[in-house]
Amino acid sequence: MSLLVQVLFWIAAVGTVTSTIYCLMVVTAAVRFGLRRRRENRAAETSTFLPPVSALKPLHGMEDGLERNLETFFEQDYPEFELLFCARYDSDAGLQLARRVGERYPGVTARYLTCGEPKYPNAKMYSLAVMADAASHECLITSDADCRVTPDYLRRCVQALKNEKPALASCLYLGTADANNLVTELDAVGKSVEMSSGVLVADMVEGGTKFALGVTMIQRRQAFEDAGGFDDLGQYQAEDYIMGKRLAEQGRGVILSPYVIRLVVPRTSFGLSFRNQLRWMQSTRRSRPMGHLGTGLTFALPFGLFGLLWGVLTQQYGLGLLWLLASCANRWLQAGVMLRVLGERKWGWPTLIYPLRDLLGGVLWFFSYLPGEVYYHGGRYAIAPDGRYMDAK
């Protein structure tokens, strides 16, 4: 028992130190981003850089909140833009909804395309290839179906291309639960805090982003070809990461836009939520193996629980409970700062529940090292060590 107690103590102690250091890094990176965001957003209000834009949106079926998500793209305050929507078939419920929404905005140029069954595993990238080929303009802004934006979205995002060097920009996002459901809310706050924290720390430590976030990407058409082309990018699960990494290695410039998107998380079950988040954890493990390994030391609640268990086994119940509460305070600080900097007005409840999400994140991190299959848009795949999709056997 003595050896077990010592092991528990040192695991809890080391993890508490590393997660505290990480929390302080997150706070610093968040404040840094917040100051930059305020400065660049003011500049965007008076900018005359407003090139014609093609906004590309892949669709696949219906989901909660999709109608309002689509409406926000038709409501853009921008001088010249077109919207392109693409699904596999004309009968796709999401594409049909986009048509109906478009009828309410006759002044907006919109086109509705079909691509058939994807020719490579990443169906989203195949849809983007079809839309990019059909787009009228050189400036392309891609976005997922679950994005909900403000009328100044295009105006603010396109400023990332004002200088010639940046080849690609992407946006952080605020997860927004579409239902008062704890599982959905935990999923949403994880997207807001856990994901964004890692991105901002990487941006600060590495002197800029060396990857992209696919929820929204801003680029000129040539960027896709410079990153390897659609056929090659479509073989990867994390095509956004691969594209950003390749362009950064070429010295082309990959930056983080100050615009923050709303990512609407529909009501979901625990099983489905866990499976979707595990898919991305597994992708990150292969895309950034060393960084993902180190991520295990950034979670606080698992080490707080180890500290509590140590306190119980040594009959130091007060110290054990204090250890757990300290780990909760760590995550409350991280979540509160991140949500405020990203512009979340209703930040109280998400901050309160974030320790529970942090614990779930630690569990997901552990499971990401176990063998498993990936389910994506009706397909079943395994992921190769380099991040490529493989047919599951």
Neighbours of 291 (CB within 10 A): 12
Q: What is the pLDDT of residue 2?
A: 84
pLDDT tens digits for range 245-254: 999 999 888 8
Q: Is residue 326 part of a domain?
A: no
Mean pLDDT for 366-392 is: 66
- Please, are residues 259 and 156 in contact by the beta-carbon 8 Å criterion? yes
Residue-range definition of the domain harbouring residue 90: 48-282
CB under 8 Å to 169, separation ≥6 — which residues? Answer: 157, 160, 161, 212, 217, 218, 219, 254, 255, 256, 257
Q: What is the pLDDT of residue 393?
A: 52
Q: What is the pLDDT of residue 386?
A: 66
Q: Is residue 70 part of a domain?
A: yes
Q: Is residue 113 part of a domain?
A: yes
Q: What is the pLDDT of residue 381?
A: 62
pLDDT tens digits for range 170-190: 999 999 988 888 999 999 999
Q: Which residues pair with 56 in a beta bridge?
A: 84, 142
CATH of the domain at 112: 3.90.550.10
pLDDT tens digits for range 127-141: 999 999 999 999 999
Residue 236 pLDDT class (50, 70, 90 cuts): confident
Q: Is residue 43 part of a domain?
A: no
Report pTM: 0.89
Q: What mean pLDDT value characterizes the chain?
A: 90
Q: What is the pLDDT of residue 137?
A: 96
pLDDT tens digits for range 103-112: 999 999 999 9
Residue 222 pLDDT class (50, 70, 90 cuts): very high
Residue 380 pLDDT class (50, 70, 90 cuts): low
Mean pLDDT for 155-166 is: 88
Q: Is residue 391 part of a domain?
A: no
Q: What tokens does 46 get? A: 């008076």
3-state SS, the chain, equals: CHHHHHHHHHHHHHHHHHHHHHHHHHHHHHHHHHHHHHHHHHHHHHCCCCCCEEEEEECCCCCCCHHHHHHHHHCCCCCCEEEEEEECCCCCHHHHHHHHHHHCCCCCEEEEEECCCCCCCCHHHHHHHHHHHHCCCCEEEEECCCEECCCCHHHHHHHHHCCCCCCEEEEEEEEEECCCCHHHHHHHHHHHHHHHHHHHHHHHHCCCCCCCCCCEEEEECHHHHHCCCHHHHCCECCHHHHHHHHHHHCCCCEEEEEEEEEEEECCCCHHHHHHHHHHHHHHHHHHCHHHHHHHCCCCCHHHHHHHHHHHHHCCCHHHHHHHHHHHHHHHHHHHHHHHHHHCCCCCHHHHHHHHHHHHHHHHHHHHCCCCCCEEECCEEEEECCCCEEEECC
Number of domains, the chain: 1
Residue 349 pLDDT class (50, 70, 90 cuts): very high
Q: Is residue 15 part of a domain?
A: no
Q: What tokens does 146 get? A: 């679950």
Task: Please give the share of the chain, as a percent, with pLDDT higher than 70.
Answer: 94
Q: Is residue 305 part of a domain?
A: no
Q: Is residue 195 part of a domain?
A: yes
Radius of gyration of the chain (CA): 22
